[in-house]
Every structure is written in structure tokens, then in C-alpha cells.
Structure 1
Amino acid sequence: MQLLISPASPFVRKVRVLLRETGLLGQVQEVETSTSPLASDAALVAANPIAKIPTLIRTTGPALYDSRVITRFLNDYADASLYPEARIWDILALEATADAIMEAAVSMTYEARFRPEEAQSADWVEAQWNKVNRAISALNDRWMSHLSGPLNMGQIGAACALSYVDLRHDARQWRNGNAELAAWHAAFSKRESMVATAA
């Protein structure tokens, strides 16, 4: 199998961390591709009509896309336990919260990178940051108990989301008022899988 990636993407990083945590790295080749909202790589388009990363090219069926689809597939493929049935709805909600942080933070990045300066909207950027900020506060206030215990996909998603905020929006200082979450993230970021996939 091949995983089409751009290393800075938090959605890609989720999958790359999973590959290392489940021992699948030797079975899935990571292939870097250059794509943007304005220009899509031809090989990526051929595999995924939406032309988004990550995309998983399989030998047994059509390519898979959307990071949550890919992580569920690879978790089952590896017979791993990153989506424990006993807590499945909580894990999925936690992962969705992490993905929402990623989506809003990436949108902020795209506004600055791909729109002409005169067309950029400060109101739009602040609205996206408000989403990020509320979701981070929710992680700190509601989800800390789910961020401890055996490794699950919600934890991986949250760590990758927070690391992306650090990468692109560190001036926003998300740690202010979120001390417990900040301590958790610092510890989780030391995992070999996180160190190996840092952008």
C-alpha cells in the first residue's frame, strides 16, 4: 500500500503516527506529494477525486481518503485496539474534536497563504480561531480522562492537532488557561511515533 502525504499536514500526521504505533510502517510506503487548494498533484487526483491528503492507495480496492476512514481501516488491518468498542463513541467524539481543531487551524493557514492580502478576512480568521480555542478548552475541561489510559485514536488526533497549532499558530499561545492539557501534550509528544513524524 502507498500513503500519499505532505508531512506538515496534521491529518497526514495522524495516519503516520498510527503506522508507527501499530507496526505497519513496513507495509505502507509513505509517498510525498505536492498539492494545494489551488493546484492538485495529478497522481493524487487519479487516486482521489477530491485531491486531498492523506490518501491510501490499496492493492485490494479503491483508494481510501479522509483521515478517519484511513485510520479505521488501518486499525482493523493491523488488528490493533486504537478504537476500543467499550469506549467507541467517546473515542470517535474525541477524534472529531481533534479534527475540528485541525480543520479550523488549516483554514486559518490557507487564508494567509492562498488568498491575496486584499481579499483576506480578519473576521474569518478570528472566527476560525474561536473554534480552535473552544475545542482546546473542551479538551482541557471535559476530555482529560479520555486522554489518559491505553493509547487510542482520540489521543493521537488530539496530540497531532495541538502540534499543528504550535507549528502554524504558536503566537496564539493555546497553553494559556489549559495547563493540564499542555502537560499532557508535552509528555505525549515525546513518544517515538510523534518525534519521528514532527514537521
Structure 2
Amino acid sequence: MKLFYAPTSPFARKVRVTAHELQLGDRIDLVLVNPWSDAELRSLNPLAKVPTLVRDDGQVLFESALICEYLDHVAAGGLYPAPGEARWSALLRQGIADGISAAAGRLFADEHRPDNERSGSVMQRQAAAIEAGLDRLERDADTLSRELADIGAVSVACALGYLDFRWPDRAWRDGRIELARWFDVAGQRRSMVGTQHHLP
């Protein structure tokens, strides 16, 4: 398999952490790309986004949630609980975490646009989504797996890592003691340490 990724993407990191936790890292060739300009990525994925996975049979998958579920299938299970409350909770946490990551990415992009190209209301909406999402995760932090044993925990760890990467001076931990404690442990997993964000 071949994974097209960018080291700044929280969604690409989620796939890489998933692969590591499922012991699939040695079956995936990593291809570092600039999603804004890479012609091969555009030819494979009409959205020209990372992550994009080329399967061994040549079929192409994109969107992190789909790729992670496919990798779980390849590994014969591990990160997706059987249908029932545990699965719905894991998928809900994935949704919250992915929403935080998406809002953070949009907010970061807006902050780096010229003043006349920014939308104050859009930026406020993204910031509010991040804060509300973090508050919800804090409420449920005691049920998160520190071993990143399900896709919800993987997604949350990657979202928090992205916030630390993009805004190291912003105090998302303030008032979220349990979530911060959880990340202090989960963030030290080998899968997290080996996939840390960095500028290309």
C-alpha cells in the first residue's frame, strides 16, 4: 500500500497512528506530498487532499475515516468495536475529534490570510467549535483509552496533537484537567511519538 500524506495534516497523522497501532506500518510506503501542487495526488484523488491511500490492488481510498476503517479490516480488526454502544461511542468521539481538527485547520488558514480576506464571524464559529468540542471530550475523558485501543481515542489524540502543533501557546488544557492528563499518557505512545507534526 502507498499512503500520500503531509506532515502537517492531523487527518494523515490519524491514518499513520492507526497503521502503527494495527501493526501495519511496514506494509505502507509513505509518500510525502504538497497537496496544493502535487500532480500525482490530483490524478489519484479528485479532491487533491491527504491522506490518500493506494491499495495493493490499485484501488484508491481517501478521507481518513474510510482509510482507517479499511486498515482495520486489513488487520482483521482491532480499533473498531462490534456494533453496539462501545462502537457508537468510539465513532462519536472520532466525529468530535475530526470536527475539532477541521475547525482548527480552517481557523489556522484564516489567521494567515490578509485582514481584508478574513471573515470574523467564520473565525469565531471555528473557535467556538473547537472549545465546545474540547469541553465535550473533557466530560468523557475518563472513558478514553490511554492505549489508543479504539478509533475514537486515536482521533482525539491526533486532534489534541494538532492543537499543540499549530498553537503551542494556546492553553487548551486550562480547565480540562482530565483530558490533559489523558493526553499526557496517550501522547507518549510510540505511534504518536513517531508521527509528530512538523513543517515539510
Q: Which amino acid aligns with 1:88?
A: R
Offset, 1:143: 4.7
Aligned counterparts of 1:75 and 1:156: Cα–Cα separation in 2: 13
Of the three residues 186, 190, 193, the one matched with 1:192 is 190
1:16 is aligned to 2:16:
yes
The share of aligned pairs that are identical, in percent, is: 35
Aligned counterparts of 2:111 and 2:15: Cα–Cα separation in 1: 26
Q: Give the structure 2 partner of residue 161 of structure 1.
A: 159
Aligned counterparts of 1:129 and 1:172: Cα–Cα separation in 2: 12
Aligned counterparts of 1:170 and 1:125: Cα–Cα separation in 2: 19
Offset, 1:61: 4.6
Q: Give the structure 2 partner of residue 68 of structure 1.
A: 65
Of the three residues 71, 75, 83, the one matched with 1:78 is 75
Offset, 1:7: 1.0
Segments of structure 2 that go 5 or more residues without pairing to the other structure are none
Q: How many residues align?
A: 195
Q: 1:63 to 1:162 in 2, by over 3 A?
A: same
Offset, 1:59: 3.0
Instruction: Tell me if the contact between 2:141 and 2:178 (Cα under 8 Å) persists in the aligned partners.
Output: no
1:52 is aligned to 2:28:
no
Q: Is the helix fraction higher in 1 or 2?
A: 1
Aligned counterparts of 2:191 and 2:145: Cα–Cα separation in 1: 17
TM-score calculated relative to the size of structure 2: 0.92
Offset, 1:41: 1.4
Q: Which amino acid aligns with 2:177?
A: A
Segments of structure 1 that go 5 or more residues without pairing to the other structure are none
1:101 is aligned to 2:74:
no
Offset, 1:110: 1.4
Q: Which amino acid aligns with 1:106?
A: G
Which ranges of 4 or more aligned residues in structure 1 deviate by more than 3 Å?
146-150
Aligned counterparts of 2:194 and 2:24: Cα–Cα separation in 1: 14
**What is the alpha-carbon root mean square deviation over aligned residues?**
1.6
Instruction: Tell me if the contact between 2:53 and 2:67 (Cα under 8 Å) persists in the aligned partners.
Output: yes
Offset, 1:144: 3.0
Instruction: Tell me if the contact between 1:94 and 1:143 (Cα under 8 Å) persists in the aligned partners.
Output: no
Partner SS state of residue 80, structure 2: coil
Instruction: Tell me if the contact between 1:64 and 1:70 (Cα under 8 Å) persists in the aligned partners.
Output: yes
1:174 is aligned to 2:172:
yes
Alignment map for 1:144-159 (pairs within 5 Å): 144-147=142-145, 151-159=149-157
TM-score calculated relative to the size of structure 1: 0.92
Instruction: Tell me if the contact between 2:147 and 2:186 (Cα under 8 Å) persists in the aligned partners.
Output: no
Instruction: Tell me if the contact between 2:141 and 2:179 (Cα under 8 Å) persists in the aligned partners.
Output: no
